[in-house]
Amino acid sequence: MTYGVIGTGAIGGYYGARLAQSGQEVHFLLHRDYEYVCQNGLRVVSPQGDFHLKHPNVYNTTSQMPKCDVVLVCLKTNKNHLLRELLPPLLHERTLVLLIQNGIGVEADVQEMFPGTWLAAGLAFICSAKSEPGLVNHQFYGSLNIGNYSCPQPAVIEALLDELHRANIEAKELEYEKARWRKAVWNMPYNGMTVALQCQTRDLMENPASRNLIWEQMLEVCRAATALGVEGVDEAFARKMMEMTDAMIPYSPSMRLDWDFHRPMEIQYLYTRPLLMAREAGSPMPRLEMLEAELRFMEAKASKQ
């Protein structure tokens, strides 16, 4: 299949480069480091083996890109308004748009923008950073869960999974709501807490007080998911996420990096939307509501400086 990548950062750069390395035709949209990658290529440093795409297909506008069978959207969700302009040149009647983005409710809003377009959620469990132009620093993990939102052809999802596997990417399909809420079990505690406490994941796990708070926040997400009728998001899964984080290197999640580099944080889909859904389902998440309020305060204060 032919792939397009919108948002060639730590996530889009990694998965797109893996697909290209395996022989797939991949077209990358770049912004700040477009000229650099044109001249120097795209490099991936990874515990699974470093590699260098010397001459990737790179563009600074989607109007020059071909129509694609699969488009990986790896933008921050607060830039999704740009999709109205970015996506149409890449779409044909059977294009699958894979939203590898954080939060709850993303697909519903993108579907409103593009009625009839086939959408799926991509939930990345990965530690990766784009530390300098043209360089993706893949540090740990790398699996990708796919949740079908509106694709009427299961064979398309199966073909995508097959090509991800050939690219040495661990990938599997999960029921859509289950996939999104499972990712929220990790995302909601760690993203906001590393910002609020100005730390990394290892710091949160090594301190008994913060470790207990992370656990209680995870359980809030599990209870909310259950109240919303989502199966398989339970205490056993939360414990698995704790164990996975214990095994990780010290890591700054995407929201912490956004804060450090003075970029807008993805509060709407990571917190506001799921918190509202949980409260409407009769299972509020008070610890995470407090965390959202702290993040809103920090963002508002920073905007005045």
Encode burial over 121-136: b for 16+ CB neighbours within 10 A, e otherwise. Answer: bbbbbbbbbbeeebbb
Distance CA 290, CA 131 (A): 31
Chain-centre distance for alpha carbon 286 = 24
Distance CA 31, CA 9 (A): 10
Amino acid letter, residue 18: R
The set of residues, in sequence order, having a beta carbon less than 8 Å from that of 85 and lying 6+ positions away, is 62
Choosing from 79, 183, 240, 304, which is the catalytic residue?
Answer: 183
The sign one gets for the Cα dihedral 120, 123, 126, 132 is: positive
Distance CA 192, CA 44 (A): 27
Q: Which segments within 69-150 are labelled E, that is strand?
A: 70-73, 96-99, 118-132, 135-148
User: Is 183 known to be catalytic?
Assistant: yes
- The residue assigned the tokens 């929220």 is 184
Q: Tell me which residues are annotated as active site.
A: 183
